[in-house]
Amino acid sequence: MSKKIGLHIGGRKFDVDVDEKFAPFLEHQMAKDFNVEGNNDLKVLLQAYVRKTHELYVQEQKIDNILKKIDE
């Protein structure tokens, strides 16, 4: 099953359907990055994207380091 999660960006509401098991995690993360009760401008969206991309980059670096240690 899926759950619909909405967010206001630039005065428009956007809804996404996500797996109900993933929904609580996404809602928690969105609450950290966005004003989930009101409007968010595009700058906020871009900042959240860059933040999450940086987190992914750091995570991949850590995984690569672990894999290198395993190969040694």
> What's the pLDDT tens digit per position in 22-42?
999 999 999 999 999 999 999
Residue 5, C-beta contacts closer than 8 angstroms, at least 6 positions apart: 15, 16, 18, 23, 26, 27, 30
16, 22 in Cβ contact below 8 A? no
* pLDDT confidence of residue 34: 97
* pLDDT confidence of residue 72: 82
* pLDDT confidence of residue 56: 98
For the full predicted model, state whether its pTM sits above 0.85: no
Determine the average pLDDT of the residues in 32-58: 97
Confidence of residue 68 (pLDDT cuts 50, 70, 90): very high
